[in-house]
Amino acid sequence: MKATHLQSTKMLIRVLSTALFCMVLPAQAAPDRASIEQALDLRQQWLPLTRDLMQAPAWTADGQAFYYQLSVEGGFQFFRQSLKHGHTELAFDHQQIAAGLAAASATEVSALQLPFGSFRYSSDESAIQFYALDAQWRCELSQPVCSQLDSKQRPKAFGVVRDLQVPASTMPVLSPDGRYQAIIHHHNLQVLDSAGQLLLSTDDGHADHFYDVDSISWAPDSSALLLVRVQPGTARYVTRVLAAPEDQLEPKVIQQLYPKPGDAVDVDQPVLVKLQAKTVTPIENALFANPYRIDQLAWQQDSSAFTFRYTERGHQRMRIIRVDAATEKATALVTEDSPTFVNLWAAFHQPLQHGEQGVVWLSERDGWAHLYRTDRSGKQLQQLTSGNWRVRQVLAVDENAGQIWFTASGYYPEQDPYYEQLFRVDLAGGNLTALTERNAHHDVVLSPDHKHYIVRYSRVDLPYVAELRQSSDGALVRTLAQADISRLTAAGFRPPQPFVAKGRDGVTDIWGLIVKPQNFDPEKSYPVIENIYAGPHDSFVPKSFWPFGFHAGGDKVIGMQALADLGFIVVQIDGMGTANRSKAFHDVAWQDLVDSGFPDRILWHQAAADSFPWYSIGGGIGIYGASAGGQSTVAALLFHPDFYRVGVAYAGCYDNRMDKISWNEQWLGYPVGPQYAASSVVEQAHLLQGQLLIINGEQDSNVDPASTMQLVDALIRADKDFDLLIVPGGEHSVGRSTGPIRYVQRRQFDFFIRHLQGSATPDWNRVQ
């Protein structure tokens, strides 16, 4: 897809798009201040207008009840329902939780708009735990008392470098039978009996090669324990200045452990400790000699072995390693090799406990994501699923029933290939059973015993319906909720319009959505703006009912409608290089993030313009995005200036050498080489032709803010005009929980009105 045919396609796109710019866009009335204010307030206006829209269902530990969030008058509440009788009650006292959380956090909390969307009960159901206000919390159910939970583990920056400035835990790790305890003392392991008598200890641990307390894992029969010895990686710190702190006049300096591509990562060496023999054995690392990460260490239930996942540096090899506890020998149960990347973001494996043991895992070795199984020797037994569709989520591997439950997309050729459906297949292969088939996207939550499941199905034009079903045959037990959007529709909501066009190869369907103004007039022409995110770790065009930000990216989606209401057509597209299609579709991103699917996107826009007379691309297209979408926004203006003319870039990773190690080495590989510079928009800043607004949060902890300032520096050196907005205290994408988000959105709206519509914007400084 990247050779001569692609070059010809790009040349054709350039010729066609240049011709289109000869067209003249009819003049439109500029949005006034009131119109812009109304668009900025759209989410707050629409959010209260749904009823019975269910979110975040979950089961109690015993499987006898489930609980969920439901939209109600004034906001939302959490409800609990018994499985057997269907009796429904509030999951907890919302007023009490709000009061307890408000007192503990010194923050105003509303009982009908609690600052969390999901929770779980404690083991004895005396409390609930959740994440809110940038922290983990536990709130008692018997009284209005909440407390912040501290992590017991030392943080690991982007999962690969431990923060050694945080002291390791000194708490003992008890064996399952309670007879022994393991601790780390002066970087060494010590194992003591219940009377505190030392049974064994190591003496080779030191600051530069220490035993890690957080990795200690006892064998189920307490005969042995597993842990890792760590050779620390690079302690790179990003330094930021908080220029306008709220609690003092002078600035503050903030440092964050932040490994970048090419930095040395922690090297973990698994170590097996046997109590009876009093041996401490590092596992021979021939099968895992060049680790990016070693994780998911787990004992077999019979204590005969343990397994772990090994990801090789460069992300082109992944292994599931099994270590026999008796022989201390390592075997590769699975080896995944790829000439591009093994996708750690979609990886799955589960060790089997019975029979031949072995493992079930997810692989793209035949070009699609499917399930496979091996025995304990690593011999491939069977490919369990196959076809031109992909397994998306493995919900359960039930060895007792001999079944695997999973969702998959693309199974029904006549449906949107991203819609997830529920399936079951035998653990031995065969008897693939589809349990859902509606032309909709399905979210499924299995009960702990796998005998029931809650399914929520929806589309962008179909509000959520939630049902309780029987797992054996998919039979309906009862309908749990059916969202009512009558008031939302009366307020002006109209669902977006899916649109499909062929991609760069002339064969592959590219899917997207078109959002129109509420007062859309098919007799008018509208300039087009694309909301872009092309990160290879996922797909991003919404497939379920989406207006209010109940799922990742939702706040950005409601922004699409608000922007459209100012006289634009706003679209979102999943081009090649994004995930959840075939391996070939995904591989387009390999070592070429600057591609961003633009050859597919431009053809999609042209097909839409051919299909709809109101879809005007003759004056150039606008584009905006955050994070990787910010990088793509700038790339659009640099490398496709005849098509994309106006861009607003938020918090971009403009040079992938400056960004976090985890995301960038996954797609650009290791070692750091010319492919990183080739994807850098900083290196090519001199190519800017269109109008660009750069927005960044001063305290971005996801992408080093220096990446933005290096782009700014390159643009200045190239004598380019652009606009820049730095938000003091703003986080990544200018802050979801802090920062003046409304102001930032208004600046984006103004920028597109001025440069894409050619209209003057209100004088916001003039007192009204």
Residue 311 banded pLDDT, cuts 50, 70, 90: very high
Residue 590 banded pLDDT, cuts 50, 70, 90: very high
Radius of gyration of the chain (CA): 27
State the average pLDDT over residues 563-582: 98
Residue 556 banded pLDDT, cuts 50, 70, 90: low
| pLDDT tens, position by position, 461-512 | 999 999 999 999 999 999 999 999 999 999 999 999 999 999 999 999 999 9
The pLDDT assigned to 28 comes to: 61
The pLDDT assigned to 8 comes to: 43
DSSP symbols for 257-322 = E---TTPPPPEEEEEEEETTTTEEEEPP-GGGSSEEEEEEEEE-TTSSEEEEEEEETTSSEEEEEE
- The CA-to-CA distance between both ends of the chain, in Å, stands at 56
The pLDDT assigned to 12 comes to: 43
| pLDDT tens, position by position, 689-737 | 999 999 999 999 999 999 999 999 999 999 999 999 999 999 997 744 4
Q: What does CATH list as the number for 51-150?
A: 2.20.25
CA 13 – CA 603 distance, rounded (Å): 7
| CA-closest candidate to residue 512, choices 580, 572, 440 | 572
Q: List the strands of the sheet with 452-459, edge to edge.
A: 441-446, 452-459, 462-470, 476-482
Round the average pLDDT of the chain to a whole number and report it: 93
| pLDDT tens, position by position, 346-382 | 999 999 999 889 999 999 999 999 999 999 998 888 9
User: What topology is assigned to 496-755 in CATH?
Assistant: Rossmann fold (3.40.50)
Q: What are the residue boundaries of the structural domains of the chain, listed by start?
A: 51-150, 384-459+462-484, 496-755
State the average pLDDT over residues 127-144: 96
CATH of 384-459+462-484, one of 2.40.160.20, 3.40.50.720, 3.40.50.1100, 2.120.10.30: 2.120.10.30
A 10 A CB-CB count for 504 gives 26
Would you say the CATH fold of 496-755 matches that of 51-150? no
CA 485 – CA 321 distance, rounded (Å): 51
| pLDDT tens, position by position, 253-303 | 999 999 999 999 999 999 999 999 999 999 999 999 999 999 999 999 999
* Cβ–Cβ under 8 Å, residues 630 and 621: no
DSSP symbols for 127-144 = EEEEEETTEEEEEESSSS
Least confident stretch, 18-22, 89-93, 202-206, 443-447: 18-22
State the average pLDDT over residues 669-681: 97
Q: Cβ neighbours of residue 717 under 8 Å, at least 6 residues apart?
A: 685
State the average pLDDT over residues 245-252: 96
Element (H, E) at 200: strand 198-201
Residue 548 banded pLDDT, cuts 50, 70, 90: low
CA 740 – CA 121 distance, rounded (Å): 34
The pLDDT assigned to 557 comes to: 66
Q: Cβ neighbours of residue 730 under 8 Å, at least 6 residues apart?
A: 696, 697, 698, 699, 700, 738, 739, 744
Q: How far is CA 623 from the centre of its chain?
A: 22
Q: Give the Å distances, CA to CA, from 223 to 43, 179, 212, 279, 330.
A: 57, 10, 19, 12, 19
CA 271 – CA 160 distance, rounded (Å): 18
**Per-residue pLDDT for 555 more than 90?**
no
**Pair of tokens at residue 135:** 């922290």
Query: How many alpha carbons lie under 13 Å from residue 474 in its C-beta half-sphere?
Result: 13
**How much of the chain exceeds pLDDT 90, in percent?**
90
State the average pLDDT over residues 7-31: 47
CA 340 – CA 361 distance, rounded (Å): 19
The pLDDT assigned to 184 comes to: 97
**Per-residue pLDDT for 128 more than 70?**
yes
Read off φ and ψ for residue 58, nearest 5 degrees: -155, 155
